Structure 1
């Protein structure tokens, strides 16, 4: 069964911890891996780490790169893979959170990279709430 691969790329250890937390919830996830970029890491070394991670989870369906913040080094590195014909289809979604990784882990073998990317993005947006609004909405 071929699934869209996933690479979570973030500042610090956030990527490792997000994938670890997702695995606590859904069990081991073989098609998703993490790359954590340290404050003092060389950009070319970090880019090579992302390239190696892509090759570990790559499938004929492509790889979705999830990054922590638009405009940050992890995203700037990730977008350099968008037009790389040597590694296959790539998409990048920024603003990664735990619900996004769980959604990526639960894809169907029939899903395309574009389908998965949109669903993962939508899941991330859908799971951001202001808790006080939720609690006060039932008091009217």
Structure 2
């Protein structure tokens, strides 16, 4: 078994990140779902869909939920999933975070959370000269 990955973002951000990660890695080694959240979407309907995705992704090892801007509708939907066992939510997804997660599909949920956070943090670099 493996951890499931649910990405909840504004519009097509999650789809674009997943597409880019897939092209870099050749495949997505974790069961993954993406939920786009638009300005016109009903939060209750989106929560119901997020819950359904979570249910399908949780095969026993838990679900890691990555979302974009903390405090926004996507992250508010994501944090409402925290009442499910073995669920962790990380806000502020970026491509280094996602690639790091996908490079360690064998890890348990708490270990994958640490990899995600380190990947996101380490991926932020100030380029004053050539990096």
Aligned residues: 130
Out of 83, 94, 98, the position equivalent to 1:97 is 94
Mapped contact 1:6–1:104 kept (Cα < 8 A) = no
CA offsets 1:30-77 (integer angstroms, 9 cap, x no match): 512211101110001111121122123222110000000111111111
User: Gaps spanning 5+ residues in structure 2: where?
Assistant: none
Mapped contact 2:10–2:37 kept (Cα < 8 A) = yes
Secondary structure at 1:54's aligned position in 2?
helix
In the TM superposition, residue 108 of structure 1 has moved relative to its aligned partner by 4.4
1:121 and 2:117 are equivalent in the alignment = yes
- The CA distance in 1 between the partners of 2:8 and 2:105, in whole Å, is 23
Deviating 4+ runs (over 6 angstroms): none
Matches within 5 A, 1:53-64: 53-64=53-64
1:81 alignment partner in structure 2: 81
TM norm structure 1:
0.86
1:18 alignment partner in structure 2: 17
1:131 and 2:130 are equivalent in the alignment = no
CA-based RMSD of the aligned residues comes to 1.5
- The CA distance in 2 between the partners of 1:100 and 1:57, in whole Å, is 19
CA offsets 1:102-121 (integer angstroms, 9 cap, x no match): 11212243x22111011111
1:7 alignment partner in structure 2: 6
TM norm structure 2:
0.91
- The CA distance in 2 between the partners of 1:123 and 1:60, in whole Å, is 25
- The CA distance in 2 between the partners of 1:108 and 1:17, in whole Å, is 20
